[in-house]
Amino acid sequence: MGSSSRANPKVALLMGGPSAEREVSLSSGRECAAALRDEGFEVVCVDAGPDLAARLIEIAPDAVFNALHGRWGEDGCVQGVLEWLRLPYTHSGVLASALAMDKEKTKDVYRAAGLPVVDSVLADKAAIRAAHVMDPPYVVKPYNEGSSVGVYIVPEGANTPPAVADDMPDTLMVEAYAPGRELTVSVLGDNALGVTEILTDGWYDYEAKYAPGGSRHVCPAEIPDDIAEACRDFAMRAHAALGCRGLSRTDFRWDDAKGLAGLVLLETNTQPGMTPTSLSPEHAAACGLSFGALCRWLVEDASCER
Q: What is the CATH number of the domain that holds 54?
A: 3.40.50.20
**Do 48 and 195 have their domain in common?**
no
Total-model pTM: 0.90
The DSSP code sequence of 40-70 is T-EEEEEE--TTHHHHHHHH--SEEEE---S
Residue 32 pLDDT greater than 50, yes or no: yes
- Name the domain boundary from 108, 141, 176: 176
Q: What percent of the chain has pLDDT over 70?
A: 92
**Do 170 and 184 have their domain in common?**
no
Give Cβ neighbours of residue 290 (< 8 Å, ≥ 6 apart).
284
Cα 208 to Cα 258: distance, rounded to the nearest angstrom: 27
Catalytic residue positions, numbered? 21, 147, 210, 249, 251, 267, 269, 273
Residue 205 pLDDT greater than 50, yes or no: no
The crossing angle, in degrees rounded to 10, of helices 22-38 and 291-301 is 90
Mean pLDDT of 100-129: 96
Tens-place pLDDT, residues 149-195: 578 999 999 999 999 999 898 999 999 999 999 999 999 999 999 89
Query: Looking at the chain, which runs of residues are DSSP E strands?
Result: 10-15, 42-47, 63-66, 120-124, 138-141, 152-154, 171-176, 181-188, 191-199, 216-218, 247-254, 263-269
**Do 170 and 76 have their domain in common?**
no
Tally of CB atoms within 10 A around 84: 10
**Cβ–Cβ < 8 Å for 69, 47:** no
- Count how many domains the chain has: 3
**Do 74 and 45 have their domain in common?**
yes
**Do 199 and 240 have their domain in common?**
yes
Amino acid in the structure at residue 179: P
- CATH for 247: 3.30.470.20
**Cβ–Cβ < 8 Å for 178, 118:** yes
Residue 3 pLDDT greater than 70, yes or no: no
Tally of CB atoms within 10 A around 242: 24
Residue 6 pLDDT greater than 90, yes or no: no
Tens-place pLDDT, residues 227-286: 999 999 999 999 999 999 999 999 999 999 999 999 999 999 999 999 767 899 999 999
**Among 38-42, 161-165, 204-208, which stretch is predicted with the lowest mean pLDDT?**
204-208
Partners of 217 in the β-ladder: 198
Residue 129: domain span: 120-176
Q: What percent of the chain has pLDDT over 90?
A: 84
**Do 110 and 190 have their domain in common?**
yes
pLDDT given at position 19 = 87
**Do 103 and 246 have their domain in common?**
yes
**Do 59 and 153 have their domain in common?**
no
**Do 252 and 110 have their domain in common?**
yes
- Name the domain boundary from 135, 151, 176: 176
Residue of 153 and 207 predicted with greater confidence: 153
Omega cis (within 30) before 137: yes
**Do 108 and 128 have their domain in common?**
no
**Mean pLDDT, the chain, whole residue set:** 92
Flag whether 4 is in a domain.
no
Partners of 193 in the β-ladder: none
**Do 224 and 109 have their domain in common?**
yes
**Cβ–Cβ < 8 Å for 29, 82:** no
Give Cβ neighbours of residue 234 (< 8 Å, ≥ 6 apart).
115, 116, 185, 250, 252, 263, 265
**φ, ψ for residue 197, nearest 5 deg:** -100, 135
Flag whether 5 is in a domain.
no
**Do 185 and 168 have their domain in common?**
no
Partners of 218 in the β-ladder: 197
Distinct helix (H) and strand (E) counts, the chain: 10, 12
Flag whether 302 is in a domain.
no
Flag whether 3 is in a domain.
no
